[in-house]
Chains A and B, each alone.
Chain A
Amino acid sequence: MMGLLSSTQVATAPIFAHIFSRADDGSANFGWVIGRILLVLLIVHVLLILGALMVWAERRVSAWMQDRIGPNRVGPHGLLQPLADLGKFMFKEDVIPGHVNKVMYTIAPLISTIPALITFAVVPFGGSYEMVDGKEVAVSWQIANLDIGVLYILAVAGIGVYGITLGGWASNSKYSLLGGVRASAQMISYELSLGLAIVPVVLMAGSLNLGEIVAYQAENTWLVFTQPLACFIFLVAGYAETNRLPFDMPESETELVAGYHTEFSSMKFALFFLAEYANMTVAAALVVTLYLGGWTLFGLEQLGWGMAVLIFALKTLFFMFAFIWVRWTIPRFRYDQLMNLGWGVFLPLTLVNVVLTAGAIALDQTWLFFLLPALCVAAALFVAYMGLKREEEQFQPLPTAAGEKGSA
């Protein structure tokens, strides 16, 4: 899929050319280093601001879904609400309860926030087509062009859970502890499915480098079309990884008050809050990168140098919207049901999917890709049908109480 405009020679923006290309001998020159540092600062700030804006979006979108108005007092459409919230968090008293383990209690929010921010280092947020060895290939713009990008993401995502677990444990409060325990169990379970859902992507793209995965999708087809099941499971596992409804066990407020962050206040709480939204951004960006062609959109990305970034941003924003959408629509799983879903459904499915994908690639039989998703859809429809059927049998309102009078 080289795109509609592949014949047009599109100029890469000079600044990006400067930042993304080293000197001819491969060494890092001064300008490259400065550019890279500026880029890191830019991306981190974009993530932080996006996190703040997501809080605003969550409140506005939920209000829109619930026939309310939502915050609209601070700034136009309440857009400055995150700033007001930040001010509030800053000036709140930073209470450290007497019964906590101070060291762990203090660093837990940091352990939670930092991985969320540094994951984005390998995510390609834009790119352009360039001639390499006489062939036009998609070259992604990333902070770090890591060849083990996928492994890096899984590794860093694994650290984030420590923040929550330690936060829950160090609080020395029973509700926090339960939240922390839930978080660790849940994340371990879903990281397996998450990892196994990426394996087919790696198998097909033949690389762990996120930039090359995007390049593969630009050249062939988006992986969501060939790996719909893996994409779906990755998305759901992403919800579990970010502790969002329907998987918000660790902080389920109606059961555990606020779960792992019950005892936190002021900026410590704000950091947990920020980590959640930064995680959402990263999860959305990963779905887009791994399965939806990253910054490509049928050649539209070649229109101008900002277009690729815009496409990537829009795709990511859509999935972030989906996070909000799901949260305000469906109820929460129970802890053991969540585990059953992770270990009993997603894990076997992803394993079979990996085997089928490997087989399909080895035998060059692409129809095998669609065998499992088709079976899953059939099974889901069957389950839904059986569910509806049981519903009719189960509940029949009796017309009157006349027949029952004596019994009471």
Chain B
Amino acid sequence: MTSQHTPTAAPVAAPKSAPGIDSEIRLDAGDDPGERMILNMGPQHPSTHGVLRLLLEVDGERVVSVVPDVGYLHRGKEKIGETLGYHRYIPYTDRLDYLAPLANNCSATWAFEKVCGIKAPERAEAIRTLCCELARISAHLLGLGAYAMDVGAMTVFLYTFSERETLYNFFEYLTGARFTTTYTRIGGVARDADEGWLKDVRAFCASLDAKADTWEDLLTNNRIWRIRNEGVGVITREMALSYGLTGPVLRGSGVAYDVRKDRPYGFYDRVDFDVPVGQHGDCYDRYLVRMEEIRQAARIGVQVIDQMPNGPILADEPKFVLPHKQGVMTGMEQLIHQFMLITGEMDTPPGEVHSHTELPKGEGGYIIRSEGGAAPWRLKYRAPSFVNLQVLKDIIPGHMIADIVAILGSIDFVMGECDK
């Protein structure tokens, strides 16, 4: 047995010629490394949900320090937006938080409408709000299921997935696609929601509470689930605020900040819902908050459908809004109109706007600088997952390897959004 076969592998010092992240986590030579070793978790690890990479310095099972490494899924979304222009950017938002494409479509469209200075009609706003909440349910269900699976409760994952299947069927009916929905348009939405669909969605939302009870039965008061999550990954209120965390992670730490409530947009000022907050800021509180948000989202869904206004689904603003698809397919006038808008014959007023919405993972914000034309001069997207992941460096050290998966699951990030 030669020493190279010793798996207790020794402190890995990064080669001097390779600068970058690996040099950051070099074990201090002056400090006796003892039993410590470097463990590379991800980017292809089953519980780093996509391509998050964590460089861990572990002492046995305990983590001494961590360096999160992001960017493996970087596709230059912002630059794509600046190149393609507003209309053609909407399909790209599907791939930001790919667990809630509809919410991203809506978020981007609200920002672009602010740039153009137009507003979508009532019915379109209501449908968008409904879509946002369905997307929230879908994203939280996946977050919850994957979280439970990482902690070992595999069955919850399958239960939540059968509900997501129903949701995907709804999306397919409404938008024509299950996953890459590209549903919204500047000034409205692509297709109208028919009455039968609304009725089915309402029934689904109304029945979701009972289904959530089933999932809670498996987890909420399960001793193992609780000892795995209570007191683990505590994010204090101050820490959450100073890092700028948003969404369920922030609310789990006891800050009742929700864009839907504090700066209502869309249809949210006309519906009644609660914003759940935790008290301890640990994984268990984040789980409870997310669970309650599923119920509240279903509640919003029912209210929106009950108040669904009638009317057009596209604003009458021919300078910015694409003509109806039916017209494009049959009329020369509309075809030319669409062609002009898509290829860049659109003149947005110069200026800078900020638009933010409550996405499933947190607050998603656009800062867009327009200098006229059909494309933004600068498009900055505030990705909630990216901001939320910053806290890892502070909360992981001191925990065990098994806790990392619980913490990652409870933060519930999406790398597509984080890496942009």
A residues lining the B interface (CB < 8 Å): 62, 65-68, 99-101, 169, 171-178, 181-182, 245-246, 248, 252-257, 328-337, 383-384, 387-388, 391, 394-405, 407-408
Instruction: List B contacts of A388 (CB < 8 A).
Output: 221
Across-interface contacts of A403 in B (CB, < 8 A): 256
Chain B positions 330-376 with a Cβ under 8 Å from a chain A Cβ: none
User: Closest 8 CB pairs between A and B?
Assistant: A332-B152, A408-B257, A66-B158, A404-B256, A331-B152, A397-B276, A401-B256, A331-B153
- Please pick, from A62, A255, A332, the residue contacting B224 in the complex, using a CB distance under 8 A: A332
Name A391's closest neighbour in chain B (CB-CB): B221
Given the complex, which residues of B lie within 8 Å of A408, measured CB to CB? 241, 250, 255-257, 262
Chain A residues with CB under 8 Å of B158's CB are 66-68
In the complex, how many angstroms separate the beta carbon of A115 from the nearest chain B beta carbon?
A: 24
Q: Can you report 30 A-B residue pairs in the complex whose CB atoms are below 8 A from each other?
A: A62-B155, A67-B159, A99-B4, A101-B5, A172-B7, A181-B60, A254-B149, A255-B47, A257-B45, A257-B46, A329-B218, A330-B222, A331-B152, A331-B153, A331-B224, A331-B225, A333-B227, A335-B400, A336-B61, A388-B221, A395-B288, A397-B275, A398-B276, A400-B275, A401-B258, A401-B261, A401-B262, A403-B256, A404-B277, A408-B262
* B21 touches A (CB below 8 Å): no
- CB pair A397–B257 under 8 Å, yes or no, is no
- Flag if B275 contacts A401 (CB, 8 Å): yes
- Least CB distance from A247 to B in Å reads 10
- Establish whether residues B405 and A66, one from each chain, have CB atoms under 8 Å apart when the complex forms: no
CA of A65 to CA of B292 in the docked complex: distance in angstroms?
25
Interface segment among B99-107, B189-197, B278-286: the answer is B278-286
Cβ–Cβ contact B221 & A174, under 8 A: no
Q: Are B279 and A336 in contact (CB under 8 A)?
A: no
- Quick check: is B24 within 8 A (CB to CB) of the other chain? no
- A-chain residues with CB within 8 Å of residue B276 when the two chains form the complex: 397-398
Q: Is B1 an interface residue (CB 8 A)?
A: yes
A295 to B151 CA separation, bound complex (whole angstroms)? 38
Q: Known: A329-B218, A336-B400, A401-B261. Contact between A65 and B280, CB under 8 A?
A: no
- CB-based contact B279/A394 at 8 Å: yes
Evaluate contact between B155 and A387: CB separation under 8 angstroms.
no
Q: Is B169 an interface residue (CB 8 A)?
A: no
Q: When the two chains form their complex, are residues A172 and B5 in contact, meaning their CB atoms are under 8 A apart?
A: yes
Chain A residues whose C-beta falls within 8 Å of the C-beta of B278 in the assembled complex:
395
When the two chains form their complex, are residues A255 and B261 in contact, meaning their CB atoms are under 8 A apart? no
> Are the C-beta atoms of A177 and B257 separated by less than 8 Å?
no
Q: Which residues of B contact A (CB under 8 A)?
A: 1, 4-9, 37, 39-40, 45-47, 60-61, 148-155, 158-159, 162, 218-228, 241, 250, 255-258, 261-262, 274-280, 285, 288, 292, 400-405
Nearest chain A CB to B153 CB, angstrom units: 4
Knowing A169-B7, A178-B61, the reply to whether A404 touches B155 (Cβ < 8 A) is no
Give Cα distance in the complex from A404 to B274, angstroms: 13
**Residues of A with C-beta under 8 A to B288:** 395
Q: Shortest beta-carbon distance, B20 to chain A, in Å?
A: 21
**Given A397-B275, A400-B275, 4 further pairs, Cβ under 8 A:** A254-B149, A328-B154, A397-B277, A401-B275
Is the beta-carbon distance between B275 and A398 smaller than 8 angstroms?
yes
Determine which of A68, A254, A402 lies in contact with B47 in the assembled complex, contact meaning CB atoms within 8 Å: A254
Contacting pair A398 B274 (CB below 8 A) = yes
Q: Which residues of A contact B404 (CB under 8 A)?
A: 255
Measured between alpha carbons, how far is A254 from B274 in the docked complex, in Å? 34
**A256 smallest CB distance to B (angstroms):** 8
Q: Give A343 Cβ to nearest chain B Cβ, in Å.
A: 16
- With the chains together, A6 CA to B255 CA distance in Å? 73
Contact among A67, A174, A329, A330 for B37, CB-based, below 8 A = A174
Query: Which chain A residues border B258 with CB–CB below 8 Å?
Result: 401
In contact, A400 and B274 (Cβ under 8 angstroms): yes
Q: Is the CB of B61 within 8 A of A405?
A: no
From B149, B221, B262, B402, residue with most partner A Cβ within 10 Å: B402
Residues of A within 8 A of B285 (CB): 394-395
* A residues less than 8 Å from B219 (CB atoms): 331
Within the assembled complex, what's the spacing in Å between the Cα atoms of A182 and B402? 12
B152 pairs with A254, CB closer than 8 A: yes
CA distance A400 to B292 in the complex (A): 13
Query: Closest CB of chain B to A113's CB: distance in Å?
Result: 22
B7 cross-chain contacts in A, Cβ below 8 A? 169, 171-174, 176-177
What is the minimal beta-carbon distance from B207 to any residue of chain A, in angstroms?
15
Residue of A nearest to B225 (CB): A331
B193 to chain A, nearest CB (A): 28
- Bound form: Cα–Cα A258–B210 in Å: 35
Q: A332 vs B277: C-alpha distance in the bound complex, in angstroms?
A: 27
**A248: nearest residue on chain B (CB-CB)?**
B152
Please indicate the chain A residues that have their CB under 8 angstroms from the CB of B40 in the complex.
174
* Inter-subunit contact B152/A246 (CB<8 Å): yes
Q: Whole-angstrom distance between the alpha carbons of A335 and B402 in the complex?
A: 8
Question: Contacts of A67 on B, CB cut-off 8 Å?
Answer: 158-159, 162
Chain A residues with Cβ below 8 Å from B403 are 334
